[in-house]
Amino acid sequence: MQQPLETIFQNQKANYKAVGAPSADIRIQQLKRLKDCIQKYELLIFQALADDLGKSKFEAAVTEVYFIYSEIDFAIKHLRQWVLPKRAKSTLSSLFAKHRITYQPKGICLIIAPWNYPFQLTMGPLISALSAGNRVMIKPSEYSIHTSNIILKILTTAFDPSSVYCALGNQDISTALLELPFDHIFFTGSTQVGQIVMRAAAKHLSSVTLELGGKSPVLIGQDTDLQKAAEKIAWGKLLNAGQTCIAPDYILIQKDQEAQFIHYFQTAVAHFIYSPSGAMNRDSYAKIITPKHLSRLHQLIDDACTQGARIAWKGAGDSADTFAPTLLQNVPPESRIMQEEIFGPILPIITYDTLEEAIKFIQDRPKPLALYLFSNSIKMTDHVLKNVSSGGACVNDVILHVSNPHLPFGGVNQSGTGSSHGYFGFKTFSHERAVMYQSNFAFSKLIYPPYSDKSSLL
Ligand code: NAD
């Protein structure tokens, strides 16, 4: 019989108190065990990702499973360095003291994951949490159920529930978990649920990392090689059929480039996912997670078209579980599709006259998770980066900034708070504690009262 979540939480807490923070050796052993277990179930993970999202083995390997192998290898390689206390300089008032920044595990952490990269976004934060020496309770998404089941199998094989526990279920389980006084909550999902998580965390003053979504714009400059840009954008938009938190959400382009862009985009898409006969190659194109999500995409288009938008191009291949790539023109900024994160293979094209107008368009909206800019002008690039806030930015490409573990990954305000990946993920799950080791030759007495005869020191 399942133990109540409260009992599991208390067991983790008691166990952590009894044993203390695990050594770097133990953390590395945990990570190796996790990797071995993932490797053991690798074929089942690929099958689960195909069942949930129609991901091809190649796409699943690159964006989920191998991504996680490299994250584990990176942590194992650097962990002994990460855990070392870092020196901090002394000041005049504490000249002979030693100062260190030490990294303590936060303690018992909660990870809540979404369905779009269900394996990567559950395992990635777990790797960081374990690297930092924490106990973890983890809730994968209820929508990607095949992947969630295999995650459960991996985690119950690799770990005792007193160190890692996986709870399957829907938002009711999240709600129950959010009642518990976790030391840290790492949430990946929508901005709306992020607000719920932050409110729940406030009750216990748990620290939070929110990896949220939003509309990531692509700003195309006049001097851009449109063919290359369109190809990169098409790849980024079609990846997981647009169900990617940092997918290019909409295009800002000058009117005289629009027709060319549409042509090159169509050509790239044809090359990527259609056979010469025009049929869609399902091996290269994911499905939409549920019929409910699919019908939302149709509604977004209907709604935009009712308000004056025009379908500039739509590929073949709409089906009961796929949505064909679609380009929209003349899209009113107040339409739903320009208000909500699209999260599907629809790309609205918005035209601008001046760069300042394009910048203002982005500035007037919630801060995006990613900002994409295509330009060969350093002056323009610097100007845009300086004036537009975003979680991350990628110049002359899309998506790929997420793949470098030396870079922090995360949002800003509406697109999230805190960061993940590599050392940044380790720090997220650690408390950076300031420690001062006072010397016997301290000048502290100088600041003790009585103060009456000390004013001359000022
Ligand atoms: P979601 O917010 O609906 O759900 C995420 C998780 O929260 C799921 O496990 C779900 O069970 C749980 N949940 C849902 N409603 C809840 C509630 N009321 N209370 C508590 N928990 C609740 O998100 P989703 O649809 O699974 O994922 C899509 C969203 O995630 C998009 O907005 C996307 O941009 C974002 N996302 C962000 C990142 C990132 O790294 N920033 C990565 C992937 C996805």
What pLDDT score was predicted for residue 252?
98
Would the pLDDT of 452 be above 90?
no
What tokens were used for 272? 């990527």
Would the pLDDT of 444 be above 80?
no
What pLDDT score was predicted for residue 456?
77
Q: Closest Cα to residue 426, out of 404, 411, 405?
A: 405
Residue 298 has, within 13 A of its CA and on its CB side, a CA count of 13
The DSSP secondary-structure symbol of 398 reads S
Residue 253 CA to residue 430 CA, distance in Å, equals 42
Q: Whose CA is nearest to atom 42 of ligand 1?
A: 245
Q: What pairs with residue 145 in β-bridges?
A: none
Q: What are the residue numbers of the active site?
A: 211, 245
pLDDT tier, 93 (very low <50, low <70, confident <90, very high otherwise): confident
Please report where in the chains the tokens 């166990």 appear, as a residue. Answer: 15
Ligand 1 centre from 12 Cα, in Å?
Answer: 25
Judge contact between 147 and 123, C-beta under 8 A.
no
Ligand 1 centre from 452 Cα, in Å?
Answer: 60
Q: Whose CA is nearest to atom 43 of ligand 1?
A: 245
What tokens were used for 1? 């019989």
What pLDDT score was predicted for residue 1?
55
Q: Who lines ligand 1 at CB under 6 A? A: 112-116, 121, 139, 141-142, 170-171, 174-175, 188-190, 193, 196, 211-213, 245, 341, 343, 369, 411, 416
Ligand 1 centre from 101 Cα, in Å?
Answer: 34
What tokens were used for 426? 């380790």
Q: What angle do CA 230, 234, 238 make, to 5 degrees?
A: 175
Q: What is the pLDDT of residues 410-441, one digit of tens each?
A: 999 999 999 999 999 999 999 999 999 998 87
Ligand 1 centre from 80 Cα, in Å?
Answer: 33
Would the pLDDT of 282 be above 60?
yes
Helical pair 171-178 and 191-204, crossing angle rounded to 10 deg = 30
pLDDT tier, 262 (very low <50, low <70, confident <90, very high otherwise): very high
Judge contact between 64 and 117, C-beta under 8 A.
yes
Best residue for ligand 1 mutational test, from 139, 182, 193, 210 (most atoms within 8 Å of Cβ):
193
Percent of all residues in the chain with a pLDDT value above 90, rounded to a whole number:
91
Give the mean pLDDT of the chain. 96
Would the pLDDT of 20 be above 70?
yes
Contacts 24+ apart (CB under 8 A), 199-202: none
Percent of all residues in the chain with a pLDDT value above 70, rounded to a whole number:
100
Residue 204 CA to residue 196 CA, distance in Å, equals 14
Would the pLDDT of 294 be above 80?
yes
Distance of CA 360 to the CA centre of its chain: 26
Ligand 1 atom nearest 115 alpha carbon: 26
What pLDDT score was predicted for residue 34?
98
Residue 89 CA to residue 188 CA, distance in Å, equals 36
What tokens were used for 404? 């470098």
Q: Give the dihedral of Cα atoms 305, 308, 311, 317; nearest 10 deg.
A: 0
